[in-house]
Amino acid sequence: MNRPNQGATSETFHINCVTDYSELKSIINSFERTGNLWNNIDSWLKEYTGIDRIFFKFIKHFDNYHVYKREKHIASILNRFSWFPTLLYNYDKKKLLIYKYCGIPLTKNNCPKDVIEQINKILNDLDSVNIQHNDIKNGELLVDKNGKIYLCDFGWGSINKQLDCGIGIWGHNKPKPCGQLSDKNVIKRLGIDKYI
């Protein structure tokens, strides 16, 4: 297991090549001792032992802004797109989201030649379902070993420009509290046009 990473919103880690089921069980128990998380995901994880890598995200902050519910709802829509890290499992009580592991952050050194086309396709797909990300930073664009790009972390995403996403959570007619980042200019804003 990689050391848990403390983000602004969540604690995340991933597990490589899950083959040892009992080791996995002890990892999760040590990470989240309280409650009966293990009982709930026990049978699910058994099915996934043997798959390559799984990414765990425990949402711990910004509770008042319903980041967990927002991210889970948007994932249910975006799971149809191949550039979206498939959401495999969610556990509401612990605000746990389990995704397919999709690679490492995009940089100049791992940038595929068709990066602009791939990002434009992602932006077009988002437009087609009226979803905005609003928070694309360097770490949110991932690249796998085959040069495929993914976009993750929709905790501050909106639908039809509304942070309540039409599901009655926080954010109706409200601005994003930590500053809006526009999706449209992302290639220039992050300097990705200079990577190639």
Ligand X SMILES: Nc1ncnc2c1ncn2[C@@H]1O[C@H](COP(=O)(O)OP(=O)(O)OP(=O)(O)O)[C@@H](O)[C@H]1O
- Residue numbers of the site for Mg ion (CB under 5 A)? 153
Among 85, 99, 170, 187, smallest CA distance to 136 is for 187
Closest distance of CB 54 from Mg ion, Å: 18
**Per-residue mark of binding to ligand X, 143-162 (x: CB under 6 A):** ---------xx-x-------
Q: Is 139 among the residues that bind ligand X (CB under 6 A)?
A: yes
Q: Is 140 among the residues that bind ligand X (CB under 6 A)?
A: yes
Among 37, 57, 50, smallest CA distance to 97 is for 57
Closest distance of CB 12 from ligand X, Å: 5
CB distance 133 to 184 below 8 Å:
no
Site for ligand X in 9-38 (CB under 6 A): 9-10, 12
Q: Is 68 among the residues that bind ligand X (CB under 6 A)?
A: no
With H, G, I as helix, E, B as strand and everything else as coil, classify residue 80. coil
149 exposure class (CB count in 10 Å sphere: 0-12, 13-18, 19+): buried
Site for ligand X in 70-129 (CB under 6 A): 85, 99-103, 105
From the list 1, 4, 7, 32, which residue makes contact with ligand X (rule: CB under 6 A)?
Answer: 7
In the bound state with Mg ion, the residue whose beta carbon lies nearer, of 153 and 164, is 153
Ramachandran angles phi, psi of 161, nearest 5°: 65, 15
Maximum distance among all Cα pairs of the chain, rounded to whole angstroms: 48
Residue, CB closest to Mg ion? 153
**What Cα–Cα distance (Å) separates residue 35 from each residue in 30, 91, 121, 132, 134?**
12, 12, 41, 34, 33
Contacting residues toward ligand X, per CB under 6 A: 7-10, 12, 55, 57, 85, 99-103, 105, 139-140, 142, 152-153, 155
